Each structure stands twice: as structure tokens, then as C-alpha cells.
Amino acid sequence: MRQKAKELLESGEVKVVIGYGQGSAPFKSTPIFIEKPEDAHKLIWNPTCVNNLTVYLRDACRQGKAAIVVKPCDARSIIELIRENQIERDDVVILAMSCPGVLNLDALAEIDLADVKSVEWHQSGIAIKTNAGETIIPSEKAFASKCLSCELAESPIADKKFGEPIERHPIRSKYADIEELEKMLPKERRAYWARQFARCIRCYACRSVCPGCYCKECFTDKPCQLWVLRSTDVESNWFFHFSRAMHTAGRCIACGECERVCPMGIPLMRLNQKMRKEVREMFGEEAGTNPEAPPTLGTFDLKNDPDPCSE
Amino acid sequence: MKTNNLKAEETRQEKEIWEPRIIGFLCNWCTYAGADLAGSSRLKYPPNIRVVRVPCSGRVNPQLIIKAFERGFDGVLVSGCHPGDCHYAKGNYFARRRIMLLKQMLEYMGIEPERFHFDWISAAEGQKFAEVVEQFTEQVRKVGPFMGVGAR
């Protein structure tokens, strides 16, 4: 992958390679933007590469052609960006990695973090090397929850693939969390969400990290339209998160970044997964599969769309 | 103080002073004209509905409905032209998708499905408009006052 990145930069085909670099600690990675061929060795690929880098793609493509290192799940974001005319297919070189799953930082709770030397994939999970030796964390614990329900053997879109396709055996249902919520009474659900959103500090990290949230100006930032209050109260938070879920309807690919970056630990994927489930059931569409399809809510099906009155 | 308010709310409910507050987003070309017809035909329907005229049911941004509930409306009615009758040819087809999705999500967010109603009402259906408002008001009355999205 480094070799390919170097070639691309040397030949001048791309202006920048977006990839993962070594973070502040061995168990962390950071997004890096490589512009010189000699810097290509800084690219890394291991279980700590959790970020969805496609969030930078729109800005990068505006400067010129860009190459990007993606996991199969993140590649679906690129399909969504192409589908919604945010980038051109020809403006991006997709370096698709084969990914057994990414690290869930909580899995390191019992390990002395200062001691960690490296984090590598292992056939039965993730191997953490420390001064004391090697610890192998089993898959169910080591991988992020989205990886446990992942069905993607390889990237759905790619210019160059690295590694072999991976046989998937999801050990967790995608909709496990939301089914639990669906069983509650409406009143209980309302109280549940009120409790969750009461914690929100509206740092907008969920919005910043989302590849689907690409509006130049968000409705929350418009001072003339008081959709949400500047201060955080449950009502405004509720409105913000509900609206954001509606805005990403049909384009959310469930990369789980919003939930991962939330400093207050709000289970935002329970909102997004529900939306994805409804879109799939009602319109038979799945975000991140077909770059040619018109946006889900920007089209309609005369005959097959369900009618809200017939219920 | 809060418990006092809740108690006041309960006593009010007992005395049946509470009246449902309903907001209606009506399409200019069909339902609004239908409501007009209901009025000029002297049909009676409950005064609980506050009408907002929109150019098309396709104009009804889901945010408008979310906002209405956030501000504590007890019920929201959205209505537009029948499929195929849209003044803008296909606005109501877009609306249909969006509203369908929103409907599922409202329920998931814990708002009783009885608080939201969507209907196709044409300009000639003054009678239907009066009936829909009547039925919907009763339906909302049955569910009771909406305590707001922040109630825990």
C-alpha cells in the first residue's frame, strides 16, 4: 500500500494520499495527508485504524485528485458521496484494504497502556504486544461492535485492493439494540431518549465526523433561524439529534463514527440503525451499495411506495 | 415547584379543562381550499386545530413536524392533494416517502402514533376535512396531553 501510494504521488497522478499514520500512542492512529512521495512510509495499517477518512474527501477532491485508504465499510461512504454528487468518481483513487475488524479501545481496559508496544491482527482476534509479552484478545471483545455484525467480505468499490477478501460470520445481529427499544412502550421510549439527550453537550462532534453531514452551513449554525437554542436543553438536543437522523436518512452507512466520538456516550447508532432498517424495509434500499441510484429521499416509486393513509 | 406543576396538570386533566392543541400543515392547492370549503359550507369541526398554509405537502420539512412536537403540540396533522393530483405534479410523492419515514421515527422516538396524522384531502372534500379534524381531535384527546419530549 505504501508502494502504491508512493507511485501515485511520484507520477503526479494524485495530489494527496489520505491515510492512517501513527498516533500519539501505539494503540492509536491518526489521519494523515501525504503530499510528498518520500513520506509514504508514514502510512500504517493495523487494527487501530478506526477513523472513517472519507469525511476529508470532499475538501481534498476540490484541490485535485486524491487517493484514500479505506476499510470496506468506509468505502460505502465514497459510494454515497458519488451518489449525491459530492465528488466525482474520477477524482478519487480508492486504495481498499482488507479488514478483519478494528480495535475497540474498551478492550484495552485491563492492559497497562503505557506498556503497549504494538497492536496487530491475530487469527483469533487482536494481539497486543507489551513488554511483558503478548496478550491475545478474542474477537468478540477486541473488535468494535459494528465489526461484529459486519457482512462485507471486501470493499464494494476500489481501484486497487490489498489483502484477501475475508469470510464473514457475523456474531451479532445488526438490529439487536434497536429491537430491544422497539419492544418498549412509547412512553418508556420517550423517557429513554430524554435521558440520553439530557447528557448531550452539543459539541457537534457527531456532525463533524460524519461523511454524510456535508452541508456548508448546518441548520444549527444559522442564527436567524432558531431551530435549536444556543444553550443545551433536552428539547433542543432532542430536536438536533432527531433532525440529524432525518437528514442522514438513506445516506447513513452505519460506520458508527458519531457514536464513537461522542464524549457523552450517547447511543446514536440506535437512531441511525433504526432509520436504515426502515429505509430498507419500506423502499428496499441500502445506503452505500449503488453509486448510480438517485438519493433515497430525492426520488419516489409511484407504485411501490407505502402510503401513510392506508394504514 | 415541578411537582406542583405536575399536580396542576393532573387536576386540570381531571376537570377536563385541557383541550388538545393541534397544528395542521395544509397544502395550499387542495386541503387548504378543502378547509375553506368546510368553512363556507358552514360545517362544524373542533376549533383545536391551528392551520399553517404551505405551498405543497412536499414543502413540509420533517423538521417542521419535529419542531411542533418539541414545542409541545399535542398532535400534528399534515394533509395535501391526492396522489396524482399535485399542483406541482409530484410534490406529494416526495412528501409520501418522507412522511412515511418520519412516522416510523416519531413512534420510535416515543411519540404515540395517534398524535400524528397524514391524509389526502382535495379541494372538493370539505366534508372529509371536517370529519378528519373531528376524528383526529378525538383521537388526540384520548391519548391525553403531551408532556413534552423532555419528560423523563
Q: Tell me: the pLDDT tens digits for A46-93?
A: 899 999 999 999 999 988 899 999 999 999 999 999 999 999 999 999
**Contact residues for B90 (Cβ-Cβ < 8 A; gap 6+):** A300, B58
Partners of residue A198 in chain B, C-beta under 8 Å: 150, 152
Angstroms from A193 CA to nearest CA on chain B:
7
Q: At residue A76, what are phi and psi to the nearest 5 degrees?
A: -65, -30
> What predicted TM-score, i.e. pTM, was given to this entire model?
0.90
Residue B57 DSSP label: G
pLDDT at residue number A163? 87
Yes or no, beta carbons of A278 and B102 under 8 Å apart: no
pLDDT at residue number A197? 94
**Confidence category of residue B147, pLDDT binned at 50, 70, 90:** confident
pLDDT at residue number A310? 65
Given a cut of 60, whether residue B12 has pLDDT beyond it is no
Q: Are B117 and A308 in contact (CB under 8 A)?
A: no
CB count, 10 Å around CB of B151? 13
Partners of residue B66 in chain A, C-beta under 8 Å: 239, 242-243, 246
Chain A residue nearest residue B72, CA to CA:
A235
Chain B residue nearest residue A227, CA to CA:
B67
Of A188, A275, A300, the CB nearest to B90: A300
Is A52 in a helix, a strand, or coil? coil
**Contact residues for A124 (Cβ-Cβ < 8 A; gap 6+):** A136, A138, A139
pLDDT at residue number A309? 78
pLDDT at residue number B13? 59
CB count, 10 Å around CB of A188? 12
Partners of residue B111 in chain A, C-beta under 8 Å: 186, 190
Chain B residue nearest residue A305, CA to CA:
B97
Q: At residue A35, what are phi and psi to the nearest 5 degrees?
A: -115, -15
Work out the burial of residue A143: count CB atoms within 10 Å of its CB; fewer than 13 is exposed, 13-18 middle, 19 or more buried. Answer: buried
Q: What is the pLDDT of residues A117-127, one digit of tens each?
A: 888 898 888 88
Cα A33 to Cα A57, A162, A197, A250: the distances in Å are 11, 20, 35, 29
**Confidence category of residue A195, pLDDT binned at 50, 70, 90:** very high
Q: What is the pLDDT of residues B88-125, one digit of tens each?
A: 999 999 999 999 999 999 999 999 999 999 999 999 99
**Confidence category of residue B1, pLDDT binned at 50, 70, 90:** very low
